[in-house]
Amino acid sequence: GAGVSQSPSNKVTEKGKDVELRCDPISGHTALYWYRQSLGQGLEFLIYFQGNSAPDKSGLPSDRFSAERTGGSVSTLTIQRTQQEDSAVYLCASSLPRDRPPGGKPGGYTFGSGTRLTVV
Amino acid sequence: DAKTTQPTSMDCAEGRAANLPCNHSTISGNEYVYWYRQIHSQGPQYIIHGLKNNETNEMASLIITEDRKSSTLILPHATLRDTAVYYCIVSSAGGTSYGKLTFGQGTILTVHP
């Protein structure tokens, strides 16, 4: 598609349940990022994927959070045993590799519209 | 990545130029200045970025001072739809930071009729 697609757009889940959030990046974008934004707050980095390199998971808030990226394209963010503090908008972004074209000017991220997660 | 400082909020009259400042006094030589905006209930939108030369695109202009310690995003003819939070971010193109963007609190720009 033309943009970054995220699904579902809204998710309400009960505390303690597991949820999966999906991100379809722009075709050809090898870099993929997950951020979250709590109500009235700034964006919080969660995880980054780049090609076949090991992902940077330094932003994941706890071991209940995990993410996969299959085939270098679609990514799934999984939250196990959800808690009320997990309620937030989860945003996915993709971009070209930071060093492409070599020596050239790197591009920006394209964000999806996010998944609004509400844990009740 | 270098830290940025932006005013918390700004107002602008519709049709006038909106000039949003950003200080990044600790920017290093390989760090770019990026601007994004976030309109209520939407994901952030890329606006423009640059290294040291001024940049212009269909959305905005970016003026970077010669010492690169500050920059200004210019929306030449602001409209009501430009009301948003504007984020100024510095980030390197590659290396260990791989261009990860760290979002601060940004500037809330309100365009009024």
What are B19-42's pLDDT values in tens digits?
999 999 999 888 889 999 999 888
Q: Average the pLDDT over A30-47 and give the result.
A: 90
Contact residues, chain B, for A23 at CB < 8 Å = none
Contact residues, chain B, for A109 at CB < 8 Å = 36, 44, 46, 101
Strand partners for A115: A90
Q: Please give the angle made by the CA atoms of B31, B36 and B40, to the nearest 5 degrees.
A: 155
What token pair was written down for B65?
A: 């001072």
Q: Chains A, B: CB contacts under 8 A, how many?
A: 58
Hey, are the CB atoms on B99 and A110 less than 8 Å from each other? no
Could you give the CA distance from residue A104 to residue A99 in angstroms, rounded to a whole number? 7
What residues of chain B have any CB closer than 8 angstroms to a CB in chain A?
Answer: 32, 34, 36, 42-46, 49, 51, 92-94, 98-106
Identify which of B51, B93, B100 has the shortest CB distance to residue A45: B100
Q: What is the pLDDT of residue B84?
A: 97
Q: Average the pLDDT over A88-110 and give the result.
A: 73
Distance of CA B30 to the CA centre of its chain: 17
Q: Average the pLDDT over B11-24 and give the result.
A: 97
List the single residue in A with minimal CA-CA distance to B40.
A40
Contact by Cβ (8 Å): B8, B65: no
Query: Does a cis peptide bond (omega within 30 degrees of 0) precede residue A101?
Result: yes
